[in-house]
Structure 1
Amino acid sequence: MNCKYDTASWWKRCSGLEIFAMIAMVVLASLSQTVRAQETTSPAQAQQPQAGLPLSPVVQTSAGPLQGLDNHGVHEYLGIPYAQPPVGGLRWQPPQAYPQWTETRQATRFGPTCAQVTTLGAFAGPANSNEDCLYLNVFAPKQAGSEKLAVLVWIHGGGNFDGESNDYDASKLVTKGDVVVVTLNYRLGLLGWLANPALDHEGHPFGNYGLLDQQLALKWVQKNIASFGGDPTRVALGGQSAGSVDASTHVVSPLAAGLFNRAIFESILFDSISLSAGEKLGTSFSTAAGCGSGSGPDAAACLRSLPVETILKLQGTESANGPYMTTAPIADGTIVPSQGLFDAFKTGKFAHMPIMSGFTHDEYNFLLAINEYFSAPPQAPVSEADVKRYVETYGANASKVVAAYTPASYATPQLALDAMGTGSYVCPQQAVNQTLSSQVPLYAYEFNDRTAPFFFPGLPGFQSLAYHTADIQYLFPGWHGGTRGIAHPLNSAQEKLSDELVMAWANFARTGNPNAAGDELWPRFDARNPRSSFYLSEDIPALSLRSESQMSEEHRCKLWDSLQLP
């Protein structure tokens, strides 16, 4: 990782996602003295729909006819190829459109999950080596009327190094929200985010191959979604975690202009890294892989001839990323402007559109759960020593962190560490919300159901609360991460909150406003006017509003703003 701490200036040289990963690795090192054995990398089998479902009507796309499934009132078209497999000479190249076909293609099974090795505990997996993975899925109402419906394109999270689209059941957004939903797989890890001089000098867009995949999927939507009952003039692009960062990147990227006109940032926003930092990582990777540090065609050919297993071995382990990874967008100058994301937001150099932006109350508990999950049996809960080590990562500013939080005042060390870590994540996003709110319609929220079901297995005594990823299951029913996650049903109060969030996301896709009418329930956020700077608190038994000042005080944003975290 090209990111080292040196007191107050460290944030200037590290992307937000590198900071996220760096602090996570510090905590991992302190909490997990030994970890579970890494799973064998093998082809992943996507969760598939139940057998025996009737077929849906045939739909004509620009590439050819498709037939999907009628899944209890939702027409599902699964595993649609939107790009040629990025293998061989197409590895580390912009994605190429999939060739046309003439016979009706059966779109009844999810496509393969993209190659990944680090699973974030129960979040993703299984680890696999699939490079042929550029497939998308369309979910549409069975009884579509004559009017075309708004579209929600969803980018899964996973740090841009793991995750898969088949975990996301869009049926409730379709049936209750009355929208068409598109989910997709995209290249991950070193296969999706790699800047290397040998590749970058070939004359094609480079570095952010996963972003290029997502943009080609958006172009597919523009060409084809009308055939599924969707309206290409009303497309909301949203994502959670890394999907949120990617969605924000497309708002800035000139190459994505006109492909969507609403954006949803669900949990965390971070800046891009510089091209020089990305190429330094990429050159180190090439050297470690045995392809040298050259910038000519021989080095590029060597990289493309590497077995995918070699790439994944250098990418990381089940529990941690390796030293050559960036999980942040790379400011390559074409896909992502050289000035970076946050500067583009500050200077207004982005596609102006309605934006919904929020986070969960206990973001950091997700990382703490991963750390405890990988600790050796018996699993080790967060200790006071772990809190001390975390505080020490802030060097000369450690005393400020202690003064702001008084860790000893919390009931447990876990709650103290959750509060501090969460503040370091949500306050930068709150600052971005302030910047954007003077330029575009912005709706801000915090997910606050601290009784949300928790999908990690075997963490007795862990207080998950409103953890990072907790809100996904309220939009996508039954979401429980990867194959090792455990699904839990929502109770009646949580189902009511789920109904409210589904309608808000669907309304936003339709009109750019999450309210059914007006702004009374969820007012537009405007940091310039204290009377208009409210966050929607998504909680049970009822939604409510919290002022920006209340949010800032609870998360100690004055502290994090003073440390100038991105």
Structure 2
Amino acid sequence: MNVRIAAAITLCLGLAACGNPSEAATEPKPDVGTQLTLNQGSLIGFKAENGAHVWLGIPFAESTAGQNRWRAPRPVSAWDGIRPATTFAPSCPQFSREESDAGELIGSEDCLYLNVYAPPDAQGRDLPVMIWIHGGANVWGAASERDGSKLAVDQNVILVTVQYRLGPLGFFAHEALRDTADKPLDRAANFALLDLIASLKWVGREIATFGGNPDNVTIFGESAGGQNIAALIGSPLAKGLFHKAIMQSGGFDSASLDQAEFANSDFYNPSSVVIDKLGYRDFGSKETAKALRKTSLADLFATYATKAEAAKPRLRYNDGTPEFPNIPAVISDGVTLPKAPLRSLLSDQETFNSVPMIMGTTRDELKALFQADPKLVKKRLGLFPAARNQRRYDLISEYTSRLWRIHAVDQPAAIISRAGHNEIWAYRFDWDESGSVGMTDLAKLLGASHGFEAPFIFGTFDVFTDNSKYLFPPKNAESRNALSATMMEYWASFARGGQPLAQTGPEWPRYTENESQPKIMRFDSEEDKGISVLTGADSMDKWISDLQNDQKVSRADRCAILDVLTTYRDGNVIPPPARVQIDALRKSRCTAGQQ
């Protein structure tokens, strides 16, 4: 997921403080009914209000600080006595998203922990296991962001949420680290991917104790979490560790080792530039590796500043959204992934982990980004954002968000299908019934934006605390909860048996049943379009043809769309394969500055 999109959502529209509801909660009281013994040692959790058994902050690997920085995760040590599992572990190092300290460096390198949510009668059973991989552009986020208790209890599944190294600690390719590797896996560049693989191995060893079936594991995640799932699908190291996958607004693109290391590509902050900024350019491999592992987090993250290079750590852009580091993420490193581009692996079932898959996007993926763009949005009374031109704003969102679907759903699904794998289902999330704040109509400003489907899948709508009542107003709670219940049923059914079924919803056909006219499920409330099946794939050829011939798109509209895509090109909003085509189209159809 693009960093700026993530930041725009995180700001919570700039209308009120957001915050993580879990951080303000009182520590729960341990419950003896949750006590169990793992291979690591004994553990005690607590009971949630809905009866779910919950265990928080379970370590699945050792701290990644010091000599373990930029190395494969090491096995966690056992503990004596009964370990309380009633509080979340610290997040991995990242810039804070909270209104009170936005841009401040927070987190700990001792962060490889996970959380488990289970129905109260789960122990001794073989329930399906669902592992949530959080999003956040691979530079922020935490396992504490989603409460899995409702999904676990309502759908009778074991829900696991995991953490993994972020930013430069999670993705870093440099020859000094490869040359001084202690173990073959230490030569990797995707340390975050190694963390996720370690968590999957932990699940394989320990989840039966919680009542989960280690032979029925579904990985699912949104945004960067979806992209990391794509990487797990392509990783030989993850083979056999999961059995189904759900990618929500993910992607199948990767950086090469050269792009991640050398300053000769569109990627920000290749490692050679970071090394130069730290003053290690003339060091030998051993000296460089040693210096890197001794570098303070503040100094390391400061080299990734994208706006105020050496100023203060409180980085912001536009009108208040925290700025975050751009990194080459998901690197074809030849260790965790083959050196071939990730997307190319999909053309042969021998080169990717062929499991049943769900892929999907939201209808208005990029409106969350555009709401923070002063060229597209004005502020009434200096406070309430609204589109400068609603018709054009919607057109820009439509055409830019279609690009995400093309590269995250239609193209990879076609490649996988041609490789002979047909267990693919696809969706588009259309719910756009947010409320208003003062003079801001959030339904018009955000629509069905990036990440909006996740609360429906977890059945919890308090993710933005103060802003939740605006984003998810009480007036549509009944229809919203009905849509949420059906989506949870589809997701859990897929995890249970490899096919998305719901008694409260229509049949969800496979995307690949009719290759010429594939089917995707549209999720919306009954008050709007409802849950229904859409027919037809999108493609770059169709996108370009529509942009040129669509009667509702004027010349000025067309150039505005292309100008926006050019503006956000370096933020990776445009998938790399589409950039050449879009640049050529803009050059032939529009002049610089034309509106």
| Superposition TM-score, scaled by structure 1 size | 0.80
Once residues 59 and 458 of structure 1 are traced to their aligned partners in structure 2, the CA distance between those partners, rounded to angstroms, is 50
Deviations 1:83-136 (Å, cap 9, x if unpaired)? 1111111111111111011211000001111111164989x9875142221110
Residue 165 (structure 2) pairs with residue 187 (structure 1): yes
Which residue number in structure 2 is paired with residue 4 of structure 1? Answer: none
Which residue number in structure 2 is paired with residue 543 of structure 1? Answer: 531
Deviations 1:509-539 (Å, cap 9, x if unpaired)? 111111159x9610111165346x1100111
Counterpart of 1:444 in 2: which secondary structure?
strand
Cα deviation, residue 253, structure 1 = 0.1
Which residue number in structure 2 is paired with residue 511 of structure 1? Answer: 497
Deviations 1:146-174 (Å, cap 9, x if unpaired)? 53100000100000001111110112211
Q: Flag the 1:336–1:514 CA change in 2: closer, same or farther, 3 A.
A: same
Query: Does the Cα contact within 8 Å between 1:118 and 1:321 map onto a contact in 2?
Result: no
Deviations 1:244-264 (Å, cap 9, x if unpaired)? 000011011001111101000
Deviations 1:385-429 (Å, cap 9, x if unpaired)? xxxxxxxxxxxxxxxxxxxxxxxxx74342232122212211112
Give the one of 217, 228, 231 matched to 1:249: 231
Counterpart of 1:195 in 2: which secondary structure?
coil
The RMSD of aligned alpha carbons is 3.5
Point out the more displaced range, 133-142 or 556-565. Answer: 556-565
Residue 282 (structure 2) pairs with residue 308 (structure 1): no
Point out the more displaced range, 493-502 or 142-151. Answer: 142-151
Once residues 99 and 283 of structure 1 are traced to their aligned partners in structure 2, the CA distance between those partners, rounded to angstroms, is 35
Query: Does the Cα contact within 8 Å between 1:423 and 1:557 map onto a contact in 2?
Result: no
Once residues 200 and 371 of structure 1 are traced to their aligned partners in structure 2, the CA distance between those partners, rounded to angstroms, is 41
Point out the more displaced range, 439-448 or 56-65. Answer: 56-65
Q: Flag the 1:90–1:521 CA change in 2: closer, same or farther, 3 A.
A: same
Residue 507 (structure 2) pairs with residue 521 (structure 1): yes
Unaligned runs of 5+ in 1: 1-16, 29-34, 385-409
Which residue number in structure 1 is paired with residue 343 of structure 2? Answer: 342
Aligned-partner residue type, residue 184 of structure 1: V
Which residue number in structure 2 is paired with residue 442 of structure 1? Answer: 424
Which residue number in structure 2 is paired with residue 465 of structure 1? Answer: 447
Cα deviation, residue 434, structure 1 = 1.9
Query: Does the Cα contact within 8 Å between 2:377 and 2:386 map onto a contact in 1?
Result: no
Once residues 144 and 151 of structure 1 are traced to their aligned partners in structure 2, the CA distance between those partners, rounded to angstroms, is 11
Cα deviation, residue 453, structure 1 = 6.6
Q: Flag the 1:331–1:120 CA change in 2: closer, same or farther, 3 A.
A: farther
Cα deviation, residue 290, structure 1 = 2.3
Deviations 1:469-502 (Å, cap 9, x if unpaired)? 1111112243555678546456111101100111
Counterpart of 2:160 in 1: which secondary structure?
strand
Query: Does the Cα contact within 8 Å between 1:356 and 1:442 map onto a contact in 2?
Result: yes
Once residues 27 and 285 of structure 2 are traced to their aligned partners in structure 1, the CA distance between those partners, rounded to angstroms, is 51
Once residues 562 and 359 of structure 1 are traced to their aligned partners in structure 2, the CA distance between those partners, rounded to angstroms, is 14
1:70-469 map, 5 Å:
70-72=47-49, 73-117=51-95, 119=97, 127-144=105-122, 146-203=124-181, 204-280=186-262, 281-292=270-281, 294=283, 296-316=285-305, 317-318=315-316, 319-322=322-325, 325-326=327-328, 328-348=329-349, 349-371=351-373, 378=382, 411-429=390-408, 430-438=410-418, 439-452=421-434, 460-462=440-442, 463-469=445-451
Aligned-partner residue type, residue 523 of structure 2: E
Once residues 45 and 113 of structure 1 are traced to their aligned partners in structure 2, the CA distance between those partners, rounded to angstroms, is 15
Q: Flag the 1:499–1:118 CA change in 2: closer, same or farther, 3 A.
A: same
Once residues 539 and 140 of structure 1 are traced to their aligned partners in structure 2, the CA distance between those partners, rounded to angstroms, is 28
Query: Does the Cα contact within 8 Å between 2:411 and 2:539 map onto a contact in 1?
Result: no
Higher relative contact order (CA 8 A, sep 6+): 1
Counterpart of 1:235 in 2: which secondary structure?
strand
Counterpart of 2:180 in 1: which secondary structure?
coil
Query: Does the Cα contact within 8 Å between 1:157 and 1:239 map onto a contact in 2?
Result: yes
Point out the more displaced range, 288-297 or 94-103. Answer: 288-297
What is the number of equivalent residue pairs in this alignment? 502
Once residues 280 and 291 of structure 2 are traced to their aligned partners in structure 1, the CA distance between those partners, rounded to angstroms, is 6
Which residue number in structure 1 is paired with residue 487 of structure 2? Answer: 501
Once residues 465 and 106 of structure 2 are traced to their aligned partners in structure 1, the CA distance between those partners, rounded to angstroms, is 13
Cα deviation, residue 228, structure 1 = 0.2
Cα deviation, residue 363, structure 1 = 0.2
Query: Does the Cα contact within 8 Å between 2:506 and 2:531 map onto a contact in 1?
Result: no
Cα deviation, residue 77, structure 1 = 0.4
Aligned-partner residue type, residue 208 of structure 1: N
Q: Flag the 1:302–1:539 CA change in 2: closer, same or farther, 3 A.
A: same
Q: Flag the 1:101–1:261 CA change in 2: closer, same or farther, 3 A.
A: same
Q: Flag the 1:252–1:293 CA change in 2: closer, same or farther, 3 A.
A: farther
Q: Flag the 1:242–1:471 CA change in 2: closer, same or farther, 3 A.
A: same
Q: Flag the 1:458–1:334 CA change in 2: closer, same or farther, 3 A.
A: farther
Which residue number in structure 2 is paired with residue 556 of structure 1? Answer: 543
Q: Flag the 1:563–1:289 CA change in 2: closer, same or farther, 3 A.
A: closer
Counterpart of 1:207 in 2: which secondary structure?
coil
Which residue number in structure 1 is paired with residue 584 of structure 2? Answer: none
